[in-house]
């Protein structure tokens, strides 16, 4: 079984370079389906399992996708297939983001219903409401969603009941080739939405207001392939910022954009963590004891739900009691039970976790129940007494490139044990070996 093994107590030092953002690159690769001519070249596409999955999804639609050296090259000129299989949608919800582009390009899309996942039910009603407003007919049956339109989609005003990131992206992509103007009201405002809009505008789309609550999309007849560099991953950056804070170390997080990390930076400062913003990154250091703070997750620019579990790991090491309220996903406290195996004092009351800081964490056998929960357990392991063994590492591989190797290079006592099959899977993708995690029972670097 794959596992990550951490022994707590080491200080970290040095710098770590942040990869392109998972949550930006996935919609951007999906949007490359919109290009009826030219090659789309997407740079800073990190070698994550999710990137491999979306590439596979595009290939299954008959599109040419080449991937190597952090660059995805897509040629979607001959896109003909409109059906995406359950196998791929099941692996990753972001696969559902091909629906908008397929509908816009082919007037038809058939996609397996994305299943529920650990952090909540994650409905897709807002995506469907948007497609229907644009003139698509939607049919649900046998676990699939089929969307069709006769002729072109028609611009419309769409008010989202929740500021959904995925629905904003899916509707933006569908509307880019519609006839007329679309407004998305109560749109999500995450930096990844802005990156997608910048990419699509370079392709020839006419999108204004991305990053605000109202996005206007003037439909165009066609889009073409362009070169684009994906923004740095604010969640990966935030995770390493917390690695510095939790171990009381000084780390330079290269490529982190402080403006994308405002809520985290401000909470860290409230806790007594020094965050220096520099031109090409941030430096994080700690001078004294950490203070408890309350945190409530919200859509951007609120505190990101994708940082909630890592922040909870940090608050377990602060003096006093903190309240952590999760408002975005209804089931995103699965890490609490795992933290409890590590001697954490946490009580969940509805959507709020009451976190009592200051109790020493103890190493234990724990399980990553989702991607960020996995990252949070690694962080807790960095300061726990003794050894923490984390299974469920496939979740972590969805979103972190070389997290074990990076932390080891920064001074952590951490290693990974993994079965050999994954090496073969990685080799098939032709990702340069130095960009993949090292898989061996006895890592050469640890
Ligand atoms: C690949 C990607 O970018 N994933 C991110 C994206 O997920 P994702 O795009 O799936 O998240 P959404 O913003 O859509 O979800 C936010 C909330 O809206 C609800 N909802 C969503 C759609 C819908 O049609 N109806 C509905 O009720 C969801 O159940 C959830 O409670 O944004 C989340 C919120 O920042 C992040 O945690 C994920 O990391
Ligand atoms: C929840 C996450 O991703 P996804 O939407 O891909 O499940 C995440 O990145 O923390």
- Note the pLDDT tens digit of each residue in 317-344: 999 999 999 999 999 999 999 999 999 9
Higher pLDDT, 440 or 324: 324
Task: State phi, psi for 404 to the nearest 5 degrees.
Answer: -70, -45
**Chain segment 283-319, per-residue pLDDT in tens:** 999 989 999 999 999 999 999 999 999 999 999 999 9
User: What is residue 117's predicted lDDT score, i.e. its pLDDT?
Assistant: 58
User: What tokens were used for 349?
Assistant: 């009351």
My answer on whether omega of the bond before 248 falls inside 30° of 0, hence cis, is no
Helix (H) or strand (E) holding 278: strand 273-278
Confirm or reject: Cβ of 122 under 6 Å from ligand 2. no
Instruction: Give the closest residue to 437 by CA, choosing from 408, 114, 357.
Output: 408
User: 436: pLDDT confidence band, cut at 50, 70 and 90?
Assistant: very low
**Given the CA of residue 26, which atom of ligand 2 is nearest to it?**
6
ipTM, interface predicted TM-score of the complex:
0.99
User: What is residue 418's predicted lDDT score, i.e. its pLDDT?
Assistant: 80
**Given the CA of residue 94, which atom of ligand 2 is nearest to it?**
6
User: What is residue 420's predicted lDDT score, i.e. its pLDDT?
Assistant: 55
Confirm or reject: Cβ of 372 under 6 Å from ligand 2. yes
Nearest CA to ligand 1 atom 3: 23
Centre of ligand 1 to C-alpha 116, Å, is 12
User: What is residue 394's predicted lDDT score, i.e. its pLDDT?
Assistant: 93
User: What is residue 93's predicted lDDT score, i.e. its pLDDT?
Assistant: 85
89-93, 131-135, 238-242: least confidently modelled range: 89-93
Confirm or reject: Cβ of 326 under 6 Å from ligand 2. no
Contacting residues for 60 by C-beta, under 8 A, at least 6 apart: 81, 84, 85, 88
Can you list the pairs that 135-144 forms with residues at least 24 positions away whose Cβ atoms lie under 8 Å?
A: 135/178, 136/103, 136/174, 140/113, 143/86, 143/112, 143/113, 144/86, 144/110, 144/111, 144/112, 144/113
User: What is residue 406's predicted lDDT score, i.e. its pLDDT?
Assistant: 98
User: 142: pLDDT confidence band, cut at 50, 70 and 90?
Assistant: confident
**Given the CA of residue 372, which atom of ligand 2 is nearest to it?**
10
Q: Which ligand is nearest to the CA of 236?
A: 2
What average pLDDT does the chain have? 93
**Chain segment 50-85, per-residue pLDDT in tens:** 999 999 999 999 999 999 999 999 999 999 899 987
24-28, 138-142, 150-154, 398-402: least confidently modelled range: 138-142
Nearest CA to ligand 2 atom 8: 306
Contacting residues for 279 by C-beta, under 8 A, at least 6 apart: none
Residue labelled with tokens 């993708």: 429
Q: What is the CATH number of domain 22-229?
A: 3.65.10.10
User: What is residue 421's predicted lDDT score, i.e. its pLDDT?
Assistant: 52
Contacting residues for 150 by C-beta, under 8 A, at least 6 apart: 107
- What's the whole-number mean pLDDT along residues 34-41? 98
Distance CA 266, CA 161 (A): 28
Do 168 and 197 touch, CB atoms closer than 8 A?
no
Q: Please state, as a whole number, how many other Cβ atoms lie within 10 Å of the Cβ of residue 299.
A: 20
Distance CA 174, CA 67 (A): 25
User: What is residue 424's predicted lDDT score, i.e. its pLDDT?
Assistant: 46
Confirm or reject: Cβ of 203 under 6 Å from ligand 1. no
User: What is residue 115's predicted lDDT score, i.e. its pLDDT?
Assistant: 62
User: 446: pLDDT confidence band, cut at 50, 70 and 90?
Assistant: very low
User: What is residue 287's predicted lDDT score, i.e. its pLDDT?
Assistant: 87
- The domain spans of the chain are 3-19+232-435, 22-229
**Best mutation site among 328, 331, 351, 399 for ligand 1 pocket (most ligand atoms within 8 Å of CB):** 328
User: What is residue 119's predicted lDDT score, i.e. its pLDDT?
Assistant: 84
Do 273 and 303 touch, CB atoms closer than 8 A?
no
Q: What is the CATH number of domain 3-19+232-435?
A: 3.65.10.10
**Chain segment 353-393, per-residue pLDDT in tens:** 999 999 999 999 999 999 999 999 999 999 999 999 999 99
Total-model pTM? 0.94
- What's the whole-number mean pLDDT along residues 204-227? 98
Contacting residues for 372 by C-beta, under 8 A, at least 6 apart: 235, 306, 307, 308, 309, 310, 335, 399
């Amino acid at each position: 079984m794959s596992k990550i093994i951490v022994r707590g107590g080491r200080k970290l030092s040095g710098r770590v370079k942040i990869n392109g953002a998972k949550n930006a690159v996935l919609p951007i690769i999906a949007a490359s389906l919109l290009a009826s001519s030219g090659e789309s070249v997407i740079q800073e596409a990190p070698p994550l399992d999710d990137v491999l999955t979306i590439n596979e999804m595009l290939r299954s639609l008959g599109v040419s996708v080449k991937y190597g050296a952090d660059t995805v090259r897509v040629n979607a000129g001959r896109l003909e297939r409109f059906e995406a299989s359950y196998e791929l949608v099941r692996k990753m919800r972001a696969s559902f983001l091909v629906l908008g582009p397929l509908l816009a390009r082919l007037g038809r899309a058939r996609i397996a219903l994305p299943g529920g996942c650990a952090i909540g039910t994650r409905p897709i009603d807002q995506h469907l409401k948007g497609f229907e407003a644009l003139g698509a007919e939607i049919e649900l049956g046998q676990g699939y969603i089929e969307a069709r339109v006769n002729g072109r989609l028609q611009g419309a005003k769409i008010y989202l009941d929740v500021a959904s990131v995925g629905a904003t992206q899916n509707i933006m992509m569908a509307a880019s080739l519609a006839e007329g103007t679309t407004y998305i009201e109560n749109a999500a405002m995450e930096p990844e939405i802005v990156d997608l809009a910048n990419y699509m505008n370079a392709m020839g789309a006419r999108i204004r207001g991305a990053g605000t609550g109202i996005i206007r999309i003037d439909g165009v007849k066609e889009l073409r392939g362009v070169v684009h560099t994906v923004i740095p991953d604010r969640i990966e950056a935030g995770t390493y910022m917390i690695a510095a804070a939790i171990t009381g170390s000084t780390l330079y997080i290269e490529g982190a954009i402080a403006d994308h990390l405002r809520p985290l930076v401000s909470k860290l400062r409230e806790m007594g963590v020094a965050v220096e913003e520099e031109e090409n990154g941030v430096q994080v250091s700690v001078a004294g004891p950490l203070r408890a703070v309350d945190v409530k997750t919200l859509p951007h620019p609120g505190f990101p739900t994708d940082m909630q579990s890592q922040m909870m790991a940090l608050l377990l090491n602060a003096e006093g009691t903190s309240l952590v309220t999760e408002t975005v996903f209804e089931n995103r406290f699965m890490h609490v039970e795992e933290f409890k195996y590590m001697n954490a004092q946490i009580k969940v009351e509805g959507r709020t976790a009451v976190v009592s800081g200051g109790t020493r964490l103890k190493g234990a056998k724990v399980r990553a129940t989702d991607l960020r929960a996995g990252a949070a357990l690694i962080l807790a392991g960095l300061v726990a007494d003794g050894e923490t063994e984390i299974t469920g590492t496939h979740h972590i591989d969805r979103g972190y490139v070389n997290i074990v190797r990076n932390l080891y290079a920064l001074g952590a006592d951490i290693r990974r044990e993994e079965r050999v099959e994954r090496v073969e899977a990685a080799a098939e993708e032709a990702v340069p070996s130095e960009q993949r995690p090292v898989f061996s029972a006895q890592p050469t670097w640890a």
